[in-house]
Chain A
Amino acid sequence: MNLGYELFDHTADIGIRVTAATVEGLVAPAAAGLYAVIGDLVPVGEPRPVAYDLSGHDRAELLRDWLAELLLLFDGDRRVIRDPVVEEFSAERLAVRAESLALDPARTRCEREVKAVTYHGLELIRTPGGWTATFIVDI
Chain B
Amino acid sequence: MSENRGYRGPLERIDACRWRIPRDYQPGMRVDGIIYASDALIETVRGDLSPEQVANVACLPGIVGASLAMPDIHWGYGFCIGGVAATDPDEGGVISPGGVGYDINCGVRLIRTHLSRAEAAPRLPGLVEALFRHIPCGVGKGGRIRFRREELRRIAAEGAPFVVRRGLGWESDITMTEADGCLRDARPDFVSDRAYDRGADQCGTLGSGNHFIEVQVVDEIYDEAAARAFGLRLDDIAVMIHSGSRGLGYQVCEDTLKELRDAPRKYGIDLPDRQLVCAPIRSPEGERYLGAMRAAANYAWANRQIMTHLVRETFAAVFGAPAERLGLTLVYDVAHNIAKLEEHVVDGRRRTLCIHRKGATRAFPAGHPELPDAYRAVGQPVLVPGDMGRCSYVLVGRAAALEQTFGSTCHGAGRLLSRGAAIRAAKGRSIHRELLDRGVIAKAQARTGLDEEQPDAYKDVTEVVGVLEQAGITARVARLRPLGVIKG
Residues in chain A within 8 A of chain B (CB atoms): 7-15, 17, 38-39, 61, 65, 68, 72, 75-76, 78, 109-113, 115-116, 118-123, 134, 136, 138-139
Contacts and interface: CB of A to CB of B under 8 A. Distances in A.
Contacts of B488: 113
- Select the residue from B50, B254, B445, B452 with max chain A CB neighbours within 10 A: B254
A138 B102 contact: yes
A11 B418 contact: yes
A78 B197 CA distance: 12
Interface in B178-193: none
Contacts of A120: 1, 76-78, 273, 275
Given A13-B77, A14-B420, A110-B139, A115 B447 contact: no
B103 A119 contact: no
Contact of B446 (A7, A110, A138): A110
Contact of B208 (A8, A68, A112): A112
Interface in B212-238: none
Given A9-B4, A9-B418, A110-B446, A119 B77 contact: yes
A38 B139 contact: yes
B251 interface: yes
A31 to B, nearest CB: 17
A97 to B, nearest CB: 21
Contact of B275 (A17, A109, A112, A118): A118
Nearest to B77: A120
Interface string B124-157: 0000000000000011100000000000000000
A136 B251 CA distance: 17
Contact of A110 (B76, B140, B257, B418): B140
B207 interface: yes
Nearest to B139: A110
A120 B4 CA distance: 13
18 contacts: A7-B420, A10-B4, A11-B76, A12-B415, A12-B419, A15-B2, A61-B261, A72-B194, A75-B198, A111-B139, A111-B446, A113-B139, A113-B488, A116-B253, A120-B78, A120-B275, A123-B2, A136-B77
B470 to A, nearest CB: 25
Given A110-B138, A112-B208, A11 B75 contact: yes
A122 B103 CA distance: 20
Contact of B2 (A38, A115, A121): A121
Interface of B: 1-4, 48, 50, 74-78, 81, 101-103, 138-140, 194, 197-198, 200, 207-210, 247, 250-251, 253-254, 257-258, 261, 273-275, 277, 415, 418-421, 445-449, 452, 488
A123 B1 CA distance: 9
Contacts of A7: 420
Contacts of A14: 419-420
Contact of B102 (A38, A61, A115): A115
B446 A119 contact: no
Nearest to B424: A9
Main SS class of interface, A: mixed
Given A15-B2, A76-B197, A112-B448, A118 B139 contact: no
A27 B84 CA distance: 37
- Select the residue from A65, A115, A116 with max chain B CB neighbours within 10 A: A115
Nearest to B446: A111
Nearest to A16: B2
A115 to B, nearest CB: 4
B48 A121 contact: no
Contacts of A122: 274
Contacts of A136: 2, 77
Contacts of A112: 139, 208-209, 446, 448, 452
A39 B208 CA distance: 12
A134 B2 contact: yes
Given A14-B420, A39-B139, A121 B1 contact: yes
A115 B102 CA distance: 7
Nearest to A56: B261
B446 A116 contact: no
B275 A119 contact: yes
Contact of B421 (A9, A75, A110, A123): A9
A121 B275 CA distance: 9
B419 A139 contact: yes
A10 B394 CA distance: 29
A121 B197 CA distance: 28
Given A9-B421, A111-B139, A138-B101, 12 more contacts: A8-B3, A11-B75, A11-B81, A15-B3, A72-B194, A76-B198, A110-B208, A113-B209, A118-B77, A120-B273, A138-B77, A139-B419
Contacts of A134: 2
A138 B258 CA distance: 16
Sorted nearest first, the 3 A-B pairs with minimum C-beta distance are A120-B77, A121-B2, A110-B139
Given A76-B197, A111-B446, A116 B254 contact: yes
A8 B415 contact: no
